[in-house]
Amino acid sequence: MAKPRRGDVVDVKISMVDEKGQGVGQLDDYTVRVRGGIPGDFLRGYIRKIRHGIREIEVRKTEVLGVETERIEARCEHFGVCGGCVWQDVVYADQIEIKRGLVQNCLGQYGVDVKFDQPLVMDGSFFYRNKMEFSFGTSKEGSVDLGLHVPGRFDHVFDLNACFLQSELSNEIVAYVRDFVRTRNLSVYHLKQHEGLFRFLTIREGKNTDETMVILTTSGDDFSGAQELSDGLREMFPRVQCVIHSINRRKAQVAFGDDEIALTERDHILEKLGRFTFEISPSSFFQTNTHQAEKLYERVVALAESQRDDRVLDLYCGMGGISFFLSEHVNQVLGIEVSDAAIQDATRNCARNNITNCAFMAGQTEDLLGQLAEQSERFDLVVTDPPRMGMHPKALKALIGLRPKKIIYVSCNPHALGRDLKVLLEAGYGVDYGQLVDMFPHTPHCEVLIRLIDLQ
C-alpha cells in the first residue's frame, strides 16, 4: 500500500488486544490500533494518528465488516462515549477469554510461558467498584455537567445519567450534587483559565458495611455552602456517614487537595474483608473491587502454603490487606510501602483488629530491601504487589539477593509482569502456578497471580 496518511480509510483484521484494550492489527509493516476492536473483528475506519517513526497507526472505527465474537447490546447509554468500559458489548465469558489471551501475549513477548489455572471470575459483572471519581465540566450551552471523561480528552466531560460500575446509590448522589450546584448557580473550575469552584466529586463505599463517603473537591475559592450540601446529603442518603471538603489550590487536575475538612462527625468509613475491619480515610488506598479483593487475598493465603513459624515479607503492602490475611497463618509479617499515609492506615488497622504479628516500614522498596539483604534477613515467603510500572530493578535485584523459598507476585500490568518474571527465571526461580483474577469487568484490566519457587 501507499504510505498511509491521516484521514485515509482502511480495512483491518484484529488479531489481538493490547494492555489498554485496543484491538491490534497489521497494515503492511504498520501496527494498527483500534479502540473497540477484539480478536477476529474485521473493521473499517479512518486514520486518526500516524507515528511513522515506530510504524504505528491509530484508527477510529466507523464500520464493522465482520466479527468472530458476537456482540450484545451494552447496558449503559454512555457506552462508546465514556472512556471507562470498552467491552460492555461483549459477553462476560468472552471478555475473560480476551483477557487471558492479552496476558499470555504480553508474557510471551518476554519469553515467559505460564500454564494458567481457571480464572477467578466475578459472580456478576456490574456494580462492583467501591470508589469512583466524577469530574465537573461545562456544556457548550454553559450548564454544569457532572460525569466522566471522553476517551483521550482531559478537558471534555460528558453529563452522566447513570454508571453501572459503582452503585445505584452513587448515581443518585451524582444527580443530587449536580442539582445542588446548578440550582445555586455555583461555578465549575476551568482548566485553562484556572478559575471557578467545583472540580471533582469522589464517592467511596463500604460494600460489606453499607457505609458511604462523599468527597467534594473544590478550588481555593470560598465554598460557603459546603455544610448545607453535606447536611442535605446526610438527610437524603442515610448511608452517607462521611462528607469531606477537599481543597485543591494547585493547577494540577487531581481529586485530592491540600486541605481536607470533615463536614461530618466521621472522617472515615469502615469496610470489612473476611474477619478484618478496615478504617478508610479519603486518601487511603484500597482495592477497588471489594468482593474480588477478598477472593484474591484468600488465594494468596492458599498459594502461600505457609507454616506456623514462617516469616513473610509483603512488598508494596498498601494499607496491609494481604499482610492481615497472612498473619493468621505465619509467625511474622513485615510490610513495606512507600506511602507514609498507607503505613499509618496499616498500623491503625492492625490495632483495630488486634493483630500483633505484623510490622510495617515506610520507604522506597528498593532501599529497604537492600538494607534487609545487607542485614542477612531471611524470609520464607515474599509477596509483591507492585504498582503498574512493576518492580524497580534495584528492588528486584535485592529480592533475588534475599533468596526466599517462594515468591507470590500479584500484578496489574502483564507487560511489567513479563519483564520482571524474565529476570526472576534467569536468577533460578521457576513459575509453578498462574491465575488470572478478574477485578474489572468490561475493561481490559485484571490482576494476575503468579507463584515462583526457588529451583536452586
Domain segments of the chain as ranges: 1-69, 104-123+289-454, 131-273
Give the pLDDT confidence score for residue 252 in this predicted structure.
75
Q: Would you place residue 1 in the very low, low, confident or very high pLDDT band (cuts 50, 70, 90)?
A: low
Domain 1-69 coded CATH 2.40.50.140: yes
Please state, in angstroms and rounded to a whole number, the distance separating the CA atoms of residues 414 and 435.
Answer: 12
Which tens digits make up the pLDDT trace of 157-210?
Answer: 899 999 999 999 999 999 999 999 999 999 999 888 888 999 999 999 999 999
The average pLDDT across 49-58 equals 91
Q: What is the residue type of 2?
A: A
Which tens digits make up the pLDDT trace of 156-171?
Answer: 889 999 999 999 999 9
- The one-character DSSP state at 212 is E
Taking alpha carbons only, the member of 173, 172, 41 closest to residue 94 is 41
Please state, in angstroms and rounded to a whole number, the distance separating the CA atoms of residues 186 and 189.
Answer: 10
Specify burial of residue 283 (Cβ count, 10 A radius: 0-12, 13-18, 19+): middle
Q: 448 pLDDT exceeds 70?
A: yes
The average pLDDT across 294-316 equals 97
Give the pLDDT confidence score for residue 439 in this predicted structure.
95
Kind of pairing between the strands at 381-384 and 240-247:
unpaired
Please state, in angstroms and rounded to a whole number, the distance separating the CA atoms of residues 311 and 330.
Answer: 7
Please state, in angstroms and rounded to a whole number, the distance separating the CA atoms of residues 388 and 445.
Answer: 11
- The one-character DSSP state at 87 is -
Q: Which of 82, 163, 412, 446 is catalytic?
A: 412
Question: What global pTM score does this model have?
Answer: 0.93
Report the SS3 class of residue 375.
Answer: coil
Give the pLDDT confidence score for residue 256 in this predicted structure.
79
Q: In this structure, what C-alpha cell is assigned to residue 41?
A: 473483528
Q: In this structure, what C-alpha cell is assigned to residue 225?
A: 455552602
Q: Would you place residue 154 in the very low, low, confident or very high pLDDT band (cuts 50, 70, 90)?
A: low
Give the pLDDT confidence score for residue 193 in this predicted structure.
83
Specify burial of residue 309 (Cβ count, 10 A radius: 0-12, 13-18, 19+): exposed
Please state, in angstroms and rounded to a whole number, the distance separating the CA atoms of residues 33 and 26.
Answer: 9
Give the pLDDT confidence score for residue 288 in this predicted structure.
94
CB 433 within 8 A of CB 449: yes
CB 46 within 8 A of CB 56: no
The average pLDDT across 11-17 equals 95
The average pLDDT across 240-268 equals 90
Q: In this structure, what C-alpha cell is assigned to residue 137?
A: 465540566
358 included as an active-site residue: no
CB 322 within 8 A of CB 391: no
Q: 97 pLDDT exceeds 90?
A: yes
Which tens digits make up the pLDDT trace of 122-145?
Answer: 999 999 999 999 999 988 888 899
The average pLDDT across 329-339 equals 96
The crossing angle, in degrees rounded to 10, of helices 92-108 and 414-426 is: 40
Please state, in angstroms and rounded to a whole number, the distance separating the CA atoms of residues 152 and 199.
Answer: 19
CB 410 within 8 A of CB 447: yes
- Which sign, positive or negative, has the C-alpha torsion 378, 404, 305, 440? positive
CB 226 within 8 A of CB 216: yes
Q: 20 pLDDT exceeds 80?
A: yes
Q: Would you place residue 153 in the very low, low, confident or very high pLDDT band (cuts 50, 70, 90)?
A: low
Mean pLDDT, rounded, of the chain: 94
Please state, in angstroms and rounded to a whole number, the distance separating the CA atoms of residues 360 and 317.
Answer: 9
Q: 253 pLDDT exceeds 80?
A: no
Give the pLDDT confidence score for residue 179 in this predicted structure.
97
The second-level CATH assignment, the architecture, of 131-273 is Beta Barrel (2.40)
49: left (phi over 0), alpha (psi -120 to 50) or beta: beta
Q: 230 pLDDT exceeds 90?
A: yes
The average pLDDT across 331-357 equals 95
Report the SS3 class of residue 389.
Answer: coil
Same fold, 1-69 and 131-273: yes
Q: Would you place residue 284 in the very low, low, confident or very high pLDDT band (cuts 50, 70, 90)?
A: confident
Whose grid coordinates read 479483593? Answer: 293
Give the pLDDT confidence score for residue 112 in this predicted structure.
96
Give the pLDDT confidence score for residue 303 in this predicted structure.
97
Q: In this structure, what C-alpha cell is assigned to residue 30?
A: 504498520
Strand partners, 397: none
Q: 65 pLDDT exceeds 90?
A: yes
The second-level CATH assignment, the architecture, of 104-123+289-454 is 3-Layer(aba) Sandwich (3.40)
Strand partners, 408: 383, 451
The average pLDDT across 287-302 equals 96
Give the pLDDT confidence score for residue 247 in this predicted structure.
94
Q: Would you place residue 152 in the very low, low, confident or very high pLDDT band (cuts 50, 70, 90)?
A: low
